[in-house]
Amino acid sequence: MRKLICSGLSLVLAMGLMAGCGTASKSSSKKSGKISVVTTIFPEYDWVREIVGENDNVEITMLLDKGVDLHSYQPSVKDIATVGACDVFVYVGGESDGWVDNALAEASNKDMKVINLVDVLGDEAKVEEIVEGMENNHDHHDHEDAEEASEHDHEDAEEEEEIDEHVWLSLKNAAVICSEISSVLGEVDKEHKSDYEKNYKAYQEKLTSLDQKYESAVSEASLDTVLFGDRFPFRYLMDDYKIHYFAAFTGCSAESEASFETITFLAGKVDELGLKSILKIESSTEEIAKTISENTESKDQEILTMDSMQATTSSDVKKGATYLSVMEKNLEVLKKALN
C-alpha cells in the first residue's frame, strides 16, 4: 500500500517536473561543471564524501535533510528535479523508496549512474523479520483453530514479505557499498579514479577496525540479548555479531503505541534475562521503554538510545557528525546494554 501511495504521488510530481522544472534544474546543476552526486540519506552522503575526499569537482546533495526519516519522506517537485539532473544517484532501494522508479523514468539526464543499496548487497539483503513479542505477532486464536490460523498467518507473511531497508546499519554492508560507490565514481570521473580507489581503501580500513571493536565488545560481554521498547531498525547490526533481540515493533513499523500484551511480554523478558537497560532509537520518546520498565519487577532499568541515522541533517554534519562517529557512539551504548 505504501508503495502504491508513493508511486501515485511521484507520478503527480513527475508531471509537474515535465511542465517546467526539469530543464531549468539540469542547466542550473551543470553551470558549475561539477559532477553532481545526489544521495537520499546521511550514511550514503557521508560515504560519498569520504570517497570523494579533497576532490572539489564533485558536488554532493543529501535529500533527506529536514530530520524526516526514510519511511515518512515524500519528495518535492524540486527533489525530483534534483534527482533527474544528477550524474550519480544513491538510494536505499526498499519499500519506502517507491517514488524513485517514476523519478528515474522522467530523469532529464539519461546517462545517470544509479546505485541501489539493496541491489548492491544482493542476497545479503535481509527480509524484514518479526520476532516473538513484536506488535501484531500475538496468537489470539482458540486452540482448535491454531493449525488453520498458523497456515493463514504463514501465507499472509509470504504475501507481505519485504526487504529490511536499514542496510546501512552494518559496517560489513558499508564496506561492500562503498566499494561500489568508488567504482561508479571512477566510471563517471575517470581522471580521478585512482584517487577514489585510494580513498575507499583508507576508509575500508577504518570500517574494518571499528567492526573488529564491535566483535571484541560483544565477545567480552556478559549478555547476548538486547531489548528495544521501540521500532527495531538494527537487525543487520545485531545479526553481524550474533546478538539476540526483542522489540516492540519492526524497523519499518508505523505503530506508535504498544498493546498491553506487547508491554507485558517485553517486561517479562527483561525480568527473565536480567536486563539492566531498555533501548530506544533517536527519533522517538521514552514512553514505551518507560512503560516496559514500570511493568518489570525492579522498575529501575536505564533507558539508552541508539542512533539509526534516519534523522541526521546537514546541520549535524557541520557539527562533526560522520557515519563512523555515530557507529562508535552506538558501540558504547551497546557495551552498556550487554553488560
Q: What is the mean pLDDT of the chain?
A: 86
Q: Which three-class secondary structure state does DSSP give residue 59?
A: strand
The rounded percent of the chain whose pLDDT value lies above 90 is: 74
Between 72 and 123, whose confidence is greater? 123
Query: Region 137-148: what's the mean pLDDT?
Result: 39
- pLDDT of amino acid 254: 67
The rounded percent of the chain whose pLDDT value lies above 70 is: 83
Q: Which three-class secondary structure state does DSSP give residue 234?
A: coil
Query: Region 17-34: what's the mean pLDDT?
Result: 46
How far apart, in whole angstroms, are the C-alpha atoms of residue 12 and residue 28? 23
Q: What is the DSSP letter of 334?
A: H
Give one word for 30, left, alpha or beta, with left for phi > 0 and alpha for psi -120 to 50: alpha
**Partners of 244 in the β-ladder:** 225
pLDDT of 155 strictly over 50: no
Which range is least confidently modeled, 34-38, 88-92, 147-151, 296-300?
A: 147-151
Query: Region 47-63: what's the mean pLDDT?
Result: 96
Query: Region 238-266: what's the mean pLDDT?
Result: 90
How far apart, in whole angstroms, are the C-alpha atoms of residue 31 and residue 10? 27
- pLDDT of amino acid 160: 61
Q: Which domains does the chain have, with CATH numbers?
A: 2-124 (3.40.50.1980), 131-162+221-339 (3.40.50.1980)
pLDDT of 7 strictly over 60: no
CA 12 to chain CA mean position, Å: 26
Q: What are phi and psi of 212, to 5 degrees?
A: -65, -35
By the 10 Å C-beta count (0-12 exposed, 13-18 middle, 19+ buried), 144 is classed as: exposed
- pLDDT of amino acid 70: 83
How far apart, in whole angstroms, are the C-alpha atoms of residue 271 and residue 276? 9
Measured between alpha carbons, how far apart are the two ends of the chain, in Å? 41
Query: Region 183-210: what's the mean pLDDT?
Result: 98
pLDDT of 335 strictly over 50: yes
Predicted confidence (pLDDT) per residue in 256-286, tens digit:
789 999 999 999 999 999 999 999 999 889 9
- pLDDT of amino acid 168: 98
Per-residue confidence band for 200, with pLDDT thresholds at 50, 70 and 90 = very high
- Measured at the alpha carbon of residue 21, what is the angle toward residues 20 and 22, in degrees to the nearest 5? 105
CA nearest neighbour of 259 among 237, 286, 284, 291: 291
- pLDDT of amino acid 251: 77
Cell of 188: 563517471
Per-residue confidence band for 52, with pLDDT thresholds at 50, 70 and 90 = very high
pLDDT of 242 strictly over 70: yes
Sign of the C-alpha dihedral computed for residues 205, 211, 215 and 218 taken in this order: positive
Q: What is the DSSP letter of 127?
A: B
Q: pTM of this prediction?
A: 0.85
Q: Transcribe 130-195 into DSSP letters.
A: --TT-TT----S-GGGHHHHHHHHHHHHHHT--B---TTS-HHHHHHHHHHHHHHHHHH-GGGHHH
Q: What are phi and psi of 207, to 5 degrees?
A: -60, -45
- pLDDT of amino acid 67: 74
Per-residue confidence band for 30, with pLDDT thresholds at 50, 70 and 90 = low
Q: Which three-class secondary structure state does DSSP give residue 11?
A: helix
- pLDDT of amino acid 123: 96
